Amino acid sequence: MNKILPSAEAAVADIFDGATIMVGGFGLSGIPENLIGAVRDKGVRNLTVISNNAGVEGVGVGSWLENGQIKKIIGSYVGDNKLYEELVRKGLLETNLIPQGTMSECIRAGGAGIPAFYTPTGVGTVVAEGKEVREFDGRKYLLERALKADFALIKAYRGDCWGNLVYRKTTRNFNPMMATAARITIAEVEQIVELGALDPEAIVTPGIYVQRIIQGAGYRKGIERRTVRKRS
């Protein structure tokens, strides 16, 4: 089955108001830039976004914030997005911050069909508020629910027409696990290759998890915060 679509716009055409969307990336590394831009231009509203962070002003998920498209963000890092902070303080944006390792496991559990799991992370902190706490072998654990989504927008390095994907270095981050945890996974790749060109041993995300794939273009590959040493 050929899963290649002609454009990012075609790939996100059925994303609807009120959808829950997972967005891959860590900071600005490995984000699906073309798919994010297509959702921004589509103008869907009241989105619940599951993403490690909210990008920066005007870039990544930050562009959806500026466009007023997000109702709630589930993530682990506010970062340097001042608009994110401002909207939360004004009560205009729901947010659920989860410890990064816990969030990763919540997504993995969602993809594996595990509804919830226990973790010691967050016990005795604000993270534990409203959650079940149980003791195992003398240690307390929180019950955390799995995360799933209507759509996952992910970024990979190479892919084929069946949706098999390989990643490059740190851009791998949250992308592979998000691919497993959504009803529809849309992959954006830097290169589309012929069937059989990918080493089967190198494929991280098998095509069974991917419903659509597009060829991306014009990558900025930005850095969230550039820190340099002053000249002596």
Domain of 76? 8-115+146-215
- Please report whether residue 202 resides in a domain: yes
Task: Report CA-CA distances (Å) from 228 to 7, 26, 221.
Answer: 37, 20, 18
Is the separation of the CB atoms in 75 and 54 below 8 Å? yes
CATH code, domain carrying 44: 3.40.1080.10
pLDDT confidence of 225, banded at 50, 70, 90? low
Residue 82: what pLDDT?
Answer: 87
- Please report whether residue 126 resides in a domain: no
- Please report whether residue 125 resides in a domain: no
- Amino acid at the residue 116: A
Total number of domains in the chain: 1
- Please report whether residue 155 resides in a domain: yes
Tokens read off for 135: 């003791």
Each residue's pLDDT tens digit, 59-94:
889 999 999 999 999 999 877 788 988 999 999 999
Each residue's pLDDT tens digit, 91-109:
999 999 999 999 999 999 9
Distance, in Å, from the CA atom of 206 to the CA atom of 165, rounded to the nearest integer, reads 6
Contacts of 226 (CB under 8 A, 6+ apart): none
Contacts by residues 91-98 (CB-CB < 8 Å, ≥ 24 positions apart): 93/65, 96/72, 98/74, 98/127, 98/144
- Please report whether residue 44 resides in a domain: yes
Residue of 89, 33, 35, 22 lying closest to 56 (CA atoms): 33
Distance, in Å, from the CA atom of 147 to the CA atom of 162, rounded to the nearest integer, reads 26
